[in-house]
Amino acid sequence: MSTEGNPATPAAWRPCSNCKKPIGWGAKHWVCAVSTCNRPGTSFVFCSVRCWDAHVPVMNHRDPWCEERVAPARAPALSPRPPSPAAAPAAPAPAATAADDPRRRVVGRTGPPFPPPPAETDILIVASRLKDYIDRKSGMNTSAEVLEALSELVREATDAAIERAAADGRKTVKARDYRP
């Protein structure tokens, strides 16, 4: 059933809480997993991790992460039909955990029950902070390629620091491991 021709049904599920770009029905989106952001009165949704990342410094989160979700498949019917009396009651669905839901994936937080994203491709730099720093320091803009390049440098330095900590017999990487 298409909702595009029906003017009474909205074309998009909700707008992004940051950039106001429409998030379509059945589209992938991200929600802030911090409890103050996912209350019924606020319930922020974002069209991309970048929009969520821009929201983090504004809300002053201490340990933020976001979760990938999928919007409802289509708009709810405008006038719900009452159940037919001949219909048999449905059996209750078994309780599902968040780990069973393939539509959810945690971004920015690792550990059970969700697998971490691939470490080789993650952006390790907080985009909004770096862009603000460059703007304040020079008045220049920042290309998205800078984040990838800096993340690669951080990965290389961290790999070397891990090797130094392991060579010292430690399981903790310290600041001194980053110095040559």
Q: Are 16 and 47 in contact (CB under 8 A)?
A: yes
Residue 109 CA, distance from chain mean position:
10
Same domain, 94 and 156: no
Q: Which residues form the domain of 57?
A: 1-117
Q: State the average pLDDT for the chain.
A: 76
pLDDT exceeding 70 applies to what percent of the chain?
Answer: 69
Looking at residue 2, its pLDDT comes to 47
pLDDT at 5 > cutoff 90: no
Q: What is the pTM of this model?
A: 0.39
pLDDT digits (tens, 9 = 90+) for 116-132: 555 677 788 888 899 99
Looking at residue 167, its pLDDT comes to 93
Same domain, 93 and 138: no
Same domain, 90 and 6: yes
Phi, psi of 132 (to 5 degrees): -65, -40
Long-range contacts of 7-13 (CB under 8 A, 24+ apart): 8/78, 9/75, 9/78, 10/75, 13/71, 13/72, 13/75
pLDDT digits (tens, 9 = 90+) for 54-103: 877 777 776 777 888 888 887 665 555 555 555 555 555 555 555 555 55
End of a domain among 99, 117, 135? 117
> Per the structure, how many domains does the chain have?
2
Same domain, 104 and 161: no
Same domain, 15 and 69: yes
